[in-house]
Amino acid sequence: MREEKQYHAEKKNHTKILLAVLAGLAIILIAAAAFIFVSGKMKEKNYSEAVLSAEKYLAANNYEDAVIQYKKAISVNPKEEDAYLALADVYVEQEEISKAKAILRKGQRETSSFKIKRKLEDLNGQSLVAVMNGDQEKEELTVDLKTASQNIAWNTSFLQKIIDYRFEDYKDQFGFVKSTKMDEDGYLEIEHNGLGAVCFYRNTETNKEIVDVSRKTPTEKGMPEKISLHSLGTLFRNFEGGASLQRLQMLFGEKVTPKTEDGRYFVETKTSDCIFRFETDANGNIVSAGGWNEIILLNANAQRDTTGHISGVVIDAVSGDGVPQAVLTFQPAKKENKEKAVKTDAQGVFSADLEPDIYTILIEADNYIEEEYIFEIEEGRNYSGEQFSISPKLKKGTARIVLEWNAEPQDLDSYLMGSTDDGKEVSVNFRQKEAKSGGDVIAALDLDDTDGYGPETTTIYNLNGVYQFQVADFRRTGTMKENGATVKVYLPGKEPVTITIDPGADVKDIWIVCEIDHGELNVINKAPQSDEFTNSNK
């Protein structure tokens, strides 16, 4: 009996010890988890604070301290792309291109970021490769001018913006001023954080309200007289680092010959709004994306007092080209205001003067699906650089998804995922723009936009399957719901369906929009359970 009691007592003690050990382990695990969580939060906080400090130094033109803060952000979190991109911009501004390339190469190794890769290619001129020759570094042309930029076209949407934008518009669209200086010709040179270009402002004899000289800043309504781009890829679509004189003449619609001035060759073409000048070789070929260029804005600061003026461009949702001869009919809500119709020009550009009202805009063009937009004209306001997209008529058995948004977030991306009835997995996005089975295209990303507004267009050619469509914010700003986005779904024989973000959905960086099941639309409109990016979804 005594032995049995002793056995039970020992067993009880062993149980107590085991429970104590388990409790200790639990406390250690909880503490470790808490430490990891807090460390992660502190890491995120320190990174954000360093980037914010750098941006403040930039706004004050203090590049030295901005560089220090961006480097600090990179050391805190080397897997985030934003600090690499911003630091490279600072180096470019200081004309330290080799440093910019070095930090981008480091960023690409650490993050595998497509944006960093694209910026690095842009700095390399997209057509130039550095070749070491002894102690000297030289640039050697690798692009074949016979085949390069075969489908070169104007970026009509961007062009319309620079024709119409005032300083206030540039700030809204392209962010804060990161650089400002007065040049020897009396121009105030302005660079915005989100625009790879220099804008040149100055007062004239007839208009002294373009630049606030005392504050060394353009006035809100001031417009730049000219613009110089860091890369011609901003102005041209399908630009591959170079373009032959023959391709340029086809683009310009006229014969041009190279001119020479200040030791450089260039070609020139003119429209009613702009004079374009692009540096070339002696034969008139563009051989670098980053060559000298200038765009002179002929109508800047002229006739800008008319209120109720709207101008913009109608673009093809698939190609991104301006749509010529499209008819826009402005139908007012108020009976006392008259309906007005205007046509786009050869580049898809339109303008109209309207009374303050809320308008239904009907847009029609041959071989396009009729589109309808709602637009408000407020009293005392003009509207410039507006963009409306219209979709070509669908071929039998196809569907189309068009994503549009506002100036922010800057880069939303379309993702189509699913499978066909015969088991073919489908994944279409900016990394993989086509999904094929044999020689047949199942689905394709027709148009990828990276600088706000869209459109970004996906076409499904095989409806014998189930596909899910999602939208992701490339820069992970967490502001998609706040800023808004719209998806239009076009299905054969049906009216287009417009989907906007559900106000009740906790959408941050990823939006699950809809499913297309054998040609039938199921609207999902929600956030994912986890908003974290992984290698598979970004």
User: What are 375-384's pLDDT values in tens digits?
Assistant: 999 887 778 7
pLDDT at 363 over 90: yes
The overall average pLDDT reported for the chain is: 84
3-state helix, strand, coil in the chain (%, to 5): 25, 35, 40
pLDDT at 420 over 70: yes
**Got the DSSP string for 27-72?**
HHHHHHHHHHHHHHHHHHHHHHHHHHHHHHHHHTT-HHHHHHHHHH
Distance of alpha carbon 297 from alpha carbon 11, whole angstroms: 91
- Do the domains 399-526 and 29-124 match in fold? no
Distance of alpha carbon 205 from alpha carbon 532, whole angstroms: 56
Question: Residues of the chain with pLDDT > 70: what percent?
Answer: 85
Residue with tokens 């000298």: 292
Strand order in the sheet with 226-229: 177-182, 188-192, 197-201, 226-229, 293-297, 274-280, 264-270, 259-261
Distance of alpha carbon 470 from alpha carbon 485, whole angstroms: 12
Distance of alpha carbon 234 from alpha carbon 209, whole angstroms: 29
Residue 375's pLDDT is: 94
pLDDT at 535 over 90: no
Residue 59's pLDDT is: 72
CATH fold for the domain made of 29-124: 1.25.40
The beta-strand segments (E) located in 325-379 are 327-332, 340-343, 349-353, 357-364, 371-377
Structure tokens at 113: 């970021």
pLDDT tens figures, 260-271: 998 899 999 998
Provide the CA 122 distance to its chain's centre, in angstroms.
15
pLDDT at 132 over 50: no
* Mean pLDDT, residues 187-201: 92
pLDDT tens figures, 234-256: 898 888 888 999 999 988 888 99
* Mean pLDDT, residues 360-389: 90
pLDDT at 60 over 80: no
Residue with tokens 């100055």: 202
Task: Identify the top-confidence range among 45-49, 196-200, 447-451.
Answer: 196-200
313-390: which CATH architecture? Sandwich (2.60)
* Mean pLDDT, residues 158-175: 87
Question: Residues of the chain with pLDDT > 90: what percent?
Answer: 43
Q: Domain 399-526 class? A: mainly beta
Question: Which pLDDT band, with edges at 50, 70 and 90, does 94 fall under?
Answer: confident
Domain boundary assignment for the chain: 29-124, 153-297, 313-390, 399-526
pLDDT at 13 over 90: no
